[in-house]
Structure 1
Amino acid sequence: MSESARAFAHLTISAQDLMAALEANPMQEYWLADLETGELIRRPEDEGFLDEDEDPEAYDDPDRYMTVEPMGSPECFQVMASYVESLPDGEAARSLDRSLRMRRPFRAFKDTLLDFPEERQKWFKFHDAVMLGWAQQWVEDNLPGAVLVFP
């Protein structure tokens, strides 16, 4: 095991929390990885939303906390587009493809999935598999040696 991998071998990271952090809206929240405990901490972007007893500088130690940079909108959009491309030709594929060209494609895609309950369940499985891959890659890139776990 390399020295860098040993540095984080004591950490277990929640896969669910990391997947949420990677999809976070940076205008609303950000996530930090605690390099001592492996805990992922969700923080509001606006300090005005902190509890009154919280210290806004409590997480400023870069030796202890690492910001989890979320995936960007283009990457998240590509996941939806890849899912649509994987579908057989049919009403669901056409409707979902059309939703991706609408003004608010993320909302339109989610709304369109409500019309296709079976595809909606398949979408969640597809989405979760992609997000898990991203989470695993993030751990390998940022915290080598840490273990991704499901609670």
Structure 2
Amino acid sequence: MEALSDEQLKKVVEELETGMNCYLHRQIGEVIAFPDPDQFPDTDDWQQEMDEIETRPDDYLEITSMSSRESFQIMERFISEVDSPAFRNRLLYALDQPKPFRRFKQLIDESSEYRQGWFAFRESQTIEWLREQLALED
């Protein structure tokens, strides 16, 4: 299987984050994405892609999203890079409370200083995770 470029990996990450199902053609490296029919009732525009996967499932590798535990670990790694002890403590506290993902996101969204850094960090970490997952399939 051919390695995906960084741009292709970014596209896959974006697709997964919006609830799309993603499949990688094992031979040519083409990525097919379409909405999960269980979550989105109107998938007529993607019928051709869905039929392709259904007809030739052995030609494709399903690319799944990372688990919530893996996402949590990315948040923990980001916190270790925050230079403000006060903000770092607020983020750590958020992760230790019920609904840690929502609390973490709320704090990040309120902080213009760290917001863009979080998005860049999460993207790079997710791309690296995805690269590792695909390497395991080779």
| Smaller-chain TM-score bracket | 0.7 to 0.9
Of 134, 138, 149, the residue aligned with 2:129 is 134
Per-residue deviation at 1:37? 5.0
> Is the 1:17–1:40 contact (alpha carbons within 8 Å) kept by the matching residues of 2?
no
> In the superposition, relative to structure 1, how do residues 42 and 54 fare at CA in structure 2: closer, same or farther (>3 Å)?
closer
Q: Which residue number corresponds to residue 43 of structure 1?
A: 35
SS at match of 1:70: coil
Per-residue deviation at 1:132? 2.1
Per-residue deviation at 1:83? 1.3
Q: Which residue number corresponds to residue 12 of structure 2?
A: 18
Which portions of structure 1, spanning 4 or more consecutive aligned residues, are displaced by more than 3 angstroms? 55-58
Name the count of aligned residue pairs: 132
Q: Give unmatched runs, 5+ long, in structure 2.
A: none
More helix by share: 2
Note the aligned Cα RMSD (angstroms). Answer: 2.7
What TM-score does the superposition give when structure 2 sets the normalisation length? 0.75
What TM-score does the superposition give when structure 1 sets the normalisation length? 0.70
Q: Give unmatched runs, 5+ long, in structure 1.
A: 1-7, 145-151
Of 107, 111, 117, the residue aligned with 1:116 is 111
Deviation larger for 80-89 or 11-20: 11-20
| Higher relative contact order structure (alpha carbons within 8 Å, sequence separation ≥ 6) | 1
